[in-house]
Amino acid sequence: MHIVVVGHGMVGHKFVETLAASGDTDLRVTILGEEPRPAYDRVHLSEFFAGKSAQDLSLVAPGFFDRKDMRLRLGTCVTAIDPASRTVMLAQGEPLDYDKLVLATGSFPFVPPVPGADRKDCFVYRTIEDLEKMQECAVRGGGARSRTGVVIGGGLLGLECAKALRDLGLQTHVVEFAPRLMAVQVDEPGARVLRNKIEELGVQVHTQKNTLAIVDGEEATHRMQFADGSHLEADMIVFSAGIRPRDELAKSSGLALGQRGGIVIDNNCQTSDPHIYAVGECALWGGQLFGLVAPGYDMARTAAKHILKGEGGFTGADMSTKLKLMGVDVASIGDAHGTAAGSRSYQFLDERKQEYRKIVVSACGKYLTGAVLVGDASSYGTLLQMMLNKLELPQAPEFLILPQGDGAVRPVLGVDALPASAQICSCNDISKGALCAAVAGGASSVGALKKCTTAGTACGGCVPLMTQVMNAELTRLGVAVNDHLCEHFACSRQELYHIVRVEGIKSFGELIARHGKGLGCDICKPVAANILASAWNDFVLRPEHASLQDSNDYFLGNIQKDGSYSVVPRMPGGEVTADGLIAVGQVAKKYGLYTKITGGARVDLFGARVEQLPNIWEELIAAGFESGHAYGKSLRTVKSCVGSTWCRYGVGDSLAFAIALENRYKGLRAPHKIKFGVSGCTRECAEAQGKDVGLIATEKGWNLYVCGNGGMKPRHAELIASGIDDETVVKLVDRFLMFYVRTAGRLQRTSVWRENLEGGLDYLKQVVIDDKLGIGLELEAQMQHVVDTYACEWKEAVTNPEVRQRFRHFVNSEAKDDNVVFVPERGQIRPARADERHRVIPIATAA
């Protein structure tokens, strides 16, 4: 069967993914994409201006189209469909036969018929190419920037576009014809709160404005003339006044259309021609168009199942939505305006915090039918489930939205009340039953649940509810849902950290006496040592701490496979003087060490025996070097390019800033190793987007990325702030690192911590940037304590006779370890293999 798909956007690709996942080998699929690149994430399109590349936004997994049964043709326009011969005609004049045709043509932006709308520097907000044009307009030739930008349209896309203009550094305005923003989703009080919060962010909102014409401006490129006699000038105008279905192909081929456009489909997503399907924003079901991605995905799955002779159908979609618009939480559920006969509403407004919550209940008072949340949408998931599953309300429904005395909103739903069919992840159509089955199959963390079900991997809004379902199911299966550190401490690493901090505990003995039992083990001792070092920054080899350390920390070096150790002097930012390099070379030559430049821009010296370590470090310290902490759960390196100091492409002094950051955080002990990267431009030579903390210089300042890593499970770092200065970078990184140190689990990297963080990236931003928990200054002060109390561990070790005495292989002898054997290779040494060892160890036998 030959299936032709017209359109390779988000919904078109979901259809193709569904076919691929079926494993059907009797298919041949041709995908015709009009754009020059494969499907990408339009939902997060504005992040393009915050530093994400087109590749970052791509929805196509590497190698996806390497299969023989699928062919993707980009930059290909379809001009006609002939249903009688089952043929589509391409713009190049090429006919293409099909057995089944799927129209995933999407929509186009509506531009009001305003005189002057086609002027230069007037754009629409739809594709990456549109964004590139906007970006080019924002940065004029010669470096003079456009100063002002206007978005015509105050709906979802309009506010997303306003964020994009603000990210471009423009003074931003939103012009809306209606009396309020987001008139479809939000009521008058909610829109008022939304407007206040957006204007606090520096965006000016103009409602009830009817644009009559766009003409030459006096102080800017354009002047918008309004019906009320007022005007507004701007250098850039972007139309985001709604969308219209791309149904021209269907119309010309005689397929049934709706009165106001849209390709009419049935429950199988078939058009009036049974061999042609339509999915996404171009499709009209039950007289309704769906402009959200989740219904489009559902249509894509339905069409694929029907073509493959599977069961299931499209029966409409809930248009509830939860978004973060310019950093403001906004959610709309069901009948948000209470239009149903007899419905009643409960409302809560906090003008100081700028939060608004409303629920709409049925005429009988038993069921939730709608809700509006602005400023705090934390209860969205549970309210949505109450409506979708028609769960009975409590006797006093107002308590669902009224805060408790501590300001927190009361929990509104126990997940046990949800049926197995309850849809938890609407983007990927994952039910509670599917999540429970995955938990029964061994998924016991949010990260594992994401991996095996795909729930929470699209917009991420369902992760809090996923977590509740997972914990409830683990409890039901008899699995104790606790994160106890070990048998000696009935608490998590996070709880242990807070105990140490709050009670001022300074030793393991005191900690286990107060809050543990027994003598401790090889799990809790290193964790406690790490926490004590993070909290108080004491020397890790003080007598009361030394016995807690693992092997690497005990000897302040990484033990290698042959029992020797590596030596890593710190070279902040990868910078080292000629004298420094000579000194390192002399030490390596003197002690016969293997030398290597690593991927972290360090010089590693391998092959040191334990008794050699103090002498080696004494010489390195005399040459001006410090410990590189390669052995510790701490900051390893800050990788850097040469930036604007040397590079002709550099726009920021990445080298100097990398050195400053490495010198600031070099003493920090954390749950796991930490790596930084600082790139001087978007060419990204320091690979900052694969680090725990990454910085990329732009003309507007630094873009800050967090929670990336390489290794066995690489993870792309996520943008948390853009266009910030050096001082703000330090403040946010201080908060981020200390929040991670406080809350991460044992041996948990920032990437894994982030994957399991309830509330995800949005919550992390709220804590780090917005200071939602009110602990920002405290986190900064704790980091400053680490900075102020820093001391080189190896300097302390070599100058302290008691500590230095520890570095010997035998307690009662000065002899060296004969098990460490090297052989020459490429002018250096390497550990001998088993067959290369030429020594005999006598074995005593019984008399």
pLDDT in tens, 395-423: 888 888 887 544 444 444 567 778 888 88
Into how many domains does the chain fold? 5
103 and 131 together in one domain: no
6 and 51 together in one domain: yes
817 and 764 together in one domain: no
700 and 749 together in one domain: yes
pLDDT at 215: 96
Mean pLDDT of 810-819: 75
pLDDT greater than 50 at residue 56: yes
Whole-number Å distance between alpha carbons of 374 and 76: 42
Kindly state whether residue 370 falls inside one of the protein's structural domains: no
Confidence of residue 202 (pLDDT cuts 50, 70, 90): confident
785 and 660 together in one domain: yes
Kindly state whether residue 437 falls inside one of the protein's structural domains: no
pLDDT in tens, 722-761: 999 999 999 999 999 999 999 998 889 999 899 888 778 8
Kindly state whether residue 477 falls inside one of the protein's structural domains: no
The DSSP symbol for 58 reads B
Confidence of residue 847 (pLDDT cuts 50, 70, 90): very low
The boundaries of the domain holding residue 143 are: 122-241
pTM, entire model: 0.62
pLDDT greater than 90 at residue 448: no
- List 308's β-bridge partners, or say none: none
Q: Which residue has the higher pLDDT, 194 or 52?
A: 194
pLDDT greater than 80 at residue 834: no
Q: Which amino acid is at 367?
A: Y
Confidence of residue 842 (pLDDT cuts 50, 70, 90): very low
204 and 253 together in one domain: no
In the listed set 241, 260, 293, which residue is the last one of a domain according to the structure? 241
534 and 617 together in one domain: no
- Contact 180/159 with Cβ under 8 angstroms? no
Q: What is the mean pLDDT of the chain?
A: 89
pLDDT greater than 90 at residue 656: yes
pLDDT at 712: 64
Whole-number Å distance between alpha carbons of 489 and 524: 8
Kindly state whether residue 575 falls inside one of the protein's structural domains: yes
CATH number for the domain harbouring residue 757: 3.30.413.10
Kindly state whether residue 814 falls inside one of the protein's structural domains: yes
pLDDT in tens, 705-729: 999 987 767 788 999 999 999 999 9
In the listed set 767, 791, 815, which residue is the last one of a domain according to the structure? 791
CATH number for the domain harbouring residue 598: 3.90.480
Asked which of 167-176, 463-472, 498-507 is least confident by mean pLDDT, the reply is 463-472
pLDDT greater than 80 at residue 817: no
Does residue 261 come out as left (phi exceeding 0), alpha (psi in the -120 to 50 range) or beta?
A: left
pLDDT greater than 50 at residue 141: no
CATH number for the domain harbouring residue 62: 3.50.50.60
Which residues are annotated as part of the binding site for [4Fe-4S] cluster? 641, 647, 681, 685
High-pLDDT (> 90) share of the chain, %: 59
- 783: Cβ contacts below 8 Å, ≥ 6 apart: 665, 668, 734, 735, 737, 738
pLDDT at 245: 95
Among residues 381, 289, 404, the alpha carbon closest in space to that of 333 is found at: 381
Where are the alpha helices (H) located in 179-337, listed in sequence order?
A: 188-200, 248-252, 293-307
Q: Return the HEC string of 392-431.
A: ECCCCHHHHCCECCCCCECCCCCHHHCCCCCEEECCCCEE
Kindly state whether residue 408 falls inside one of the protein's structural domains: no
- Contact 128/242 with Cβ under 8 angstroms? no
pLDDT greater than 60 at residue 113: yes
Q: Which residue has the higher pLDDT, 140 or 589?
A: 589
Neighbours of 246 (CB within 10 A): 22
Which residues are annotated as part of the binding site? 641, 647, 681, 685
Mean pLDDT of 802-821: 80
Which residues are annotated as part of the binding site for siroheme? 685
Kindly state whether residue 93 falls inside one of the protein's structural domains: yes
772 and 802 together in one domain: no
pLDDT at 841: 42
Confidence of residue 328 (pLDDT cuts 50, 70, 90): confident
544 and 554 together in one domain: no
pLDDT at 145: 60
In the listed set 211, 241, 271, which residue is the last one of a domain according to the structure? 241
514 and 572 together in one domain: no
pLDDT at 160: 85
pLDDT greater than 80 at residue 813: no
pLDDT greater than 80 at residue 580: yes
First to last CA, the chain: 82
pLDDT at 46: 77
510 and 658 together in one domain: no
Sign of the dihedral through C-alpha 5, 6, 8, 9? negative
Asked which of 21-25, 97-101, 337-341, 401-405 is least confident by mean pLDDT, the reply is 401-405
545 and 599 together in one domain: no
pLDDT at 521: 86
Kindly state whether residue 468 falls inside one of the protein's structural domains: no
